[in-house]
Amino acid sequence: MTISFSEFLDKYKGMSMNEIEVSNLQEGGNISSGLVLKKHNEALKHGRDVIRTKVRDRDLNDKLNALAKQIDAVSSIAVIAAALSGQEDSFLSKVAQGSSLRRI
């Protein structure tokens, strides 16, 4: 998204360059946290689908369930990493930290 110079001046009127950079970083952190939450929800959904799938071979079924739980654990680690990177006090970082506790 591009803005004109006059729109830039209106938007950041009275702010120092450091404050402008921090506000843009916080906005970027919210976007990345939102994307991580979306991907985590997709991983949980796919994990639930795998667990719901039943096959005749019991050993294979147990292996599929273990694999789904492993994917869930790895996606939770990714959410924790994204939540703790950058601005920890942003709202979506807090949501991501709480979301990392979700399981299949």
Banded pLDDT at 9 (limits 50, 70, 90): confident
Domains of the chain by residue range: 40-104
- Cα separations (Å) of 25 from 18, 22, 58, 67, 81? 11, 5, 50, 36, 17
CB 90 within 8 A of CB 30: yes
- The token pair that represents 51 in the structure block: 């667990």
Neighbours of 87 (CB within 10 A): 16
- pTM (predicted TM-score): 0.56
pLDDT tens-digit series, residues 42-87: 888 888 888 888 888 989 989 888 888 888 888 888 777 777 765 5
